[in-house]
Structure formats: structure tokens, C-alpha cells
Chain A
Amino acid sequence: MKVVPLFPTPLGLIDFGEVHQRQDIELVQAILRAYESDPQGKQSSQVGGWHSHPLVEFDPAFEELCVLVKEAGQGFLSHLGYDNPVNHVDCWANINNKGQFNMFHHHNGSLLGGVYYPVQSLSPEGVLGFNYGADPMKPGSWGGHGGELVIQSPNYNLQGHLSKKTPSAWNTDHYHINPTSGLLVLFPAYLTHSVMPVMDDNTRISLAFSFL
């Protein structure tokens, strides 16, 4: 039998790698400065955490990152067969501590959505945790570590009457992406996603993007 993936959902994973560590440290420092200058932030999808206002003009580290992110987004769109030019990348930061999370949401109206992790985590003592090159993907249900980006299938709840005998890409409802230093995640703007509650004492720091 031939099985054809008729309408697959693309997810872009770009690893900037450990070679980007100097810039990642500068990004975390800039995010913490942005938090200190605007601790109220902006209310969006977060529950209890901090969501910044747009950051591109706040610090050169963000502008520099957005140059790379824009290039990656343009390449991703081209890979998918689209020719829309990416004119601007909107960028904001999220900081979540224990128990804090982000509700399911999407980036509709944008060309793409994206997330970047400069670090895996920040300890209460202020130590940056790096895990460059780790496997970020976990299919299926939540593993319990906390802080993962959860991508939900566009077909979620449409096949709930079927019994899953063998896990596969065809019957998986969610993918979890662990915060991984240097990892840029790109996805279609329609794809709903959330962030699991942080379960340990470390701080989860990420940058999010909408491509316009």
C-alpha cells in the first residue's frame, strides 16, 4: 500500500549551535535589561510570566538576531514554495518562572511564527544552562519537565474516536519541543502552540517572532 502525506505540516528547526554562544549570552543579558526597564511588559498569551513589548530597537543584540531570523524565515518560506518577501520580523521575549506558562495561541495574520532559545534555562543563582545540540523533539504527551513549547496538530480532536495502537506521525496530536540553546523553531502562523508550566526552580527564557 502506498500512503501519501497529502497535507503535511512543516516545522523548521535551525541550529545556530554553540558557535553562537557569545551572542546568546548577550541576548540573555539584553532580555534581562529589557525586563528591568519594563517589568509590567505586555499582557498576551502568558499566565503569570513576563511578555515584553517589541524588542528589535531595544538593543543591537535583538536587531542582529532578527537579521539571521529573517534570513532563515525567508529560506523556510522559499523551501515551502512561497515567494512572499519577509519585510519585517517582530520580536519579543518571554520569561517564565515556576508555575508560569503560555496559553494556546497562533500567529495568524503573519507569514510565519517562530521561537528562539538563547539558553536552556537560567538558574536561581544566575547560572546560564546551555544544551547546544540536544534533541529538542518529543512526540506525544507531555513528559513532565516543564517549559516545553507544545505544537498542536491542526487535526486535533478530529480523530478522537480512533484508537491509537502504534504511535506515528499520522496519529500524533502534539509535539513537545524542549528549550535548546541555539535552536530557532519556525512554523506556519496557523499552527496553535503553547508553553507548558515551568516545573522546576529554573527560569525559562525565549524569544518569539512574527514574520510580516
Chain B
Amino acid sequence: MTLTGRHTCKVTAAYGDWRIHEVSMGQDVYIDLVKLVLPKEPTILPLDSVAWKGKHLPSKFTGDNCVCCGGDRYRDCDTSYPGIVVEGITNPYQLPYRLIDGKHRVQKILDSGATSAPFYLLTKREVLMYTDTTETDLCSQP
């Protein structure tokens, strides 16, 4: 699987405080997905130990009614690709794992009735290497 793009970590009305406090309390922190080196094998984790954007929201704001995409990305996503989680990093739910990629997939898995799922598990140190507070800085990294 090839990862593309980057995720913004910020405060939003819909999802709450998803800033990475270890990096910045400012609004613009990016995780550069392209540069992440994923482990060869995913790890099975219980979903109740994973924080993802919108985890607390009722169904009228998730799934087919997703507030970020109107349900398009939820319907189109392929759950055979594991999400990416980071262990021991700030999240609004104070859970052990923070999802940094794959919230529509995780929601779809949860809605199917599953209580656990495979995830690529990264350490905080591995991810913080690929965060920055400006898009320019990220692009200039080797």
C-alpha cells in the first residue's frame, strides 16, 4: 500500500482537540503520511482502546452521514487496509492508541459489529519525526 498526503492535527468544532500537544499547541501541525515507515505486519487491537476523530459522535454525524464527507469516503473506503495508530500520544479520549489514518475504515469496521481490528502500530517517537508546524518545512525534508 502507498500512503499519500498528510493529515492536519488541529481543534475543530466537530472533532474537538486533535492537536499533538507534544509538538505544538498551535493550530497547524501536520503528519506527513508519505514518509511514515510502517511495520510489516499489523497488530490486532480492541476498538475501545483506539481514539479516532468522531468516535463519540452519534450515527447522524458518522457513517453515511459523516460530517466531513457526507458519507462518500465512508462508503468508498476499503477496510482491508489497516488503519495507522500511534501508541501513547495525546488524544481527546485519553485512550492508549491514537488513529492517524483511517477513520472512515474504523467506523465501517465498528458499524459491521466488530470489536477489534488490525492496525499498523507506530511509536510516538516514529511519528513525531514526521510532524511539523508548516507544510513548507515538511516538503523541504529529505
Contacts and interface: CB of A to CB of B under 8 A. Distances in A.
A60 B14 contact: no
A188 to B, nearest CB: 23
A22 B13 contact: no
B11 A19 contact: no
A16 B13 contact: yes
Contacts of B14: 17, 19-20
Contact of A67 (B11, B57, B61): B11
Chain A contact-residue range equals: 10 to 19
B67 interface: yes
Given A67-B11, A68-B11, A22 B16 contact: yes
Contacts of A67: 10-11, 17, 27
B9 to A, nearest CB: 12
Contact of A22 (B25, B27, B56, B67): B56
Interface of B: 10-14, 16-17, 25, 27, 56-57, 61, 67
A19 B17 contact: no
Contacts of B67: 19
Interface in A1-43: 16-20, 22-23
Contacts of A19: 13-14, 57, 61, 67
A104 to B, nearest CB: 30
A64 B13 contact: no
